[in-house]
Amino acid sequence: FFSSSRMMRRVVSSISASAFRTYAVSAGSALPSATLHEGTPAGKVDIADVCKGKKVVIFGVPGAFTPGCSKTHLPGYIADADKFKAKGVDEIVCVSCNDAFVMAEWGVAQGASGKVRMLADPDASFAKALGTDIDLTAVLGSVRTKRFSMIVDNGVVKALNVEPDNTGLSCSLAPPLLDSL
């Protein structure tokens, strides 16, 4: 009995550590302020200002030009941009812990202009403020963000969907977020 209940506690605590991890923000939190870069490092944008008085979808990706982000995540939001706008979303923002030049060129390569704003979080300060930061040094060379989607209404987080395995392509994609609106 003791050994099986100890085993059960271990299983439950390992499930809690991954699937039920809580983040620094959740539904009802104010979106934290963080300085992001748009176009060049001189194009400083406070994400909290972007979300003032607007309904904004923000999605975070582990890396510009990586296969999952380029083939599925970003193209999905570009393809559904008009449907999000029809459901009252004023702006869609893609954030990645890359530099502003890389993010801008990724947006050009994907035809994001007018549909998805490409904001860089080079020092991962926004990811750290959300608690979605993850050390991907071994794979991508630096701290990045877990893959997530978020709805922010006038600066208040309405939903945060972080991939349970950190970088997978499921709950943070455009179709489930669109369906939730």
Contact residues for ligand BEZ, defined by CB under 6 A: 62-63, 66-69, 136, 139-140, 167
CB of 179 to ligand BEZ, least distance (A): 22
CB of 127 to ligand BEZ, least distance (A): 13
Is residue 97 among the annotated active site residues? Answer: no
Q: Which is nearer to ligand BEZ, 98 or 167 (CB)?
A: 167
Q: Which is nearer to ligand BEZ, 74 or 129 (CB)?
A: 74
CA distance 49 to 103: 20
What per-residue string of b and e applies to 127-146 under the rule 16 or more CB within 10 Å gives b?
Answer: bbbbbbbbebeeebeebbbb
The active-site residue, picked from 51, 69, 94, 97, is: 69
CB of 112 to ligand BEZ, least distance (A): 16
Q: Which is nearer to ligand BEZ, 117 or 145 (CB)?
A: 145
CA distance 78 to 69: 12
Position of minimal CB gap to ligand BEZ: 68
Please, are residues 122 and 36 in contact by the beta-carbon 8 Å criterion? no
Question: Across-strand partners of 29?
Answer: none
Q: Which sign, positive or negative, has the C-alpha torsion 27, 33, 34, 39?
A: positive
Catalytic residues: 69
